[in-house]
């Protein structure tokens, strides 16, 4: 399953106040800690259908693998997980402190976030096939903060790919 948006992109910088060693990127923290991805101020969740910073960390923990690609500030950043744990961690030492930044895989003039994942069938032993109508129906009911959001469910049984795209969703809801 893949979900793509064209928002600002999840922050990618290393959080030097991170309690872990090595110091991790904001993206890694958002994908591995509950509530870390939430925007907690008085206005952030007035119309959100989400669970306040819980969703993507749960998806990561319950996935066989997850790949996060963030296009932000002219760079393409990437990090991969297996069963919630970072794979092929990049570790550098800066001013005597170990840090673990996201890999920069290229330059871009685009922005946004892509999350690609495969649910773990050891956990989801039943009902683990995607049904193409489900993501589209759920998205159509939700208030989308981005101008454009794409869902690309990949059906394993028939190796089909269907792309659902909403343009100007915000204007359509106003």
The domain ranges of the chain are: 2-128
| Residue 130 in this model has a pLDDT that exceeds 90 | no
Three-class SS of the chain: CEEEECCCCCCCCECCCCCCCCEEEHHHHHHHCCCCCCCCCCCCCCCCCCCCCCHHHHHHHCEEEEEEEEEECCEEEEEEEECCEECCCCCEEECCEEEECCEEEEECCCCEEEEEEEECCCCCCCCCCCCCHHHHHHHHHCCCCCCEEEEECEECCCCEECCEEEECHHHHHC
Q: Which fold has domain 2-128?
A: Heat Shock Protein 90 (3.30.565)
pLDDT tens-digit readout, 66-112: 999 999 999 999 999 999 999 999 999 999 999 999 999 999 999 99
- Name the pTM for this structure: 0.73
């Amino acid at each position: 399953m893949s979900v793509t948006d064209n928002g600002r992109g999840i922050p990618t910088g290393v959080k030097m106040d991170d309690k872990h060693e090595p110091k991790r990127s904001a993206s890694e923290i958002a994908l591995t800690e509950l509530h870390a991805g939430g925007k907690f101020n008085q206005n952030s969740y007035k119309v959100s259908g989400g669970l306040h910073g819980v969703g993507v960390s749960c998806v990561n923990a319950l996935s066989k693998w997850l790949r996060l690609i963030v296009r932000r500030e002219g760079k393409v950043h990437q990090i991969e997980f297996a069963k919630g744990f970072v794979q092929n961690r990049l570790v550098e030492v800066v001013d005597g402190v170990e840090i673990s930044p996201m890999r920069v895989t290229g330059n871009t003039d685009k922005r946004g976030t892509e999350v690609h994942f495969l649910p773990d069938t050891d956990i989801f032993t039943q009902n683990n096939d995607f049904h193409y109508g489900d993501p589209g129906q759920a998205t159509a009911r939700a208030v989308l903060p981005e101008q454009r959001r794409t869902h690309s469910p990949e059906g394993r049984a028939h190796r089909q790919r269907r792309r659902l795209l909403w343009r100007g969703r915000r204007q359509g809801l106003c």
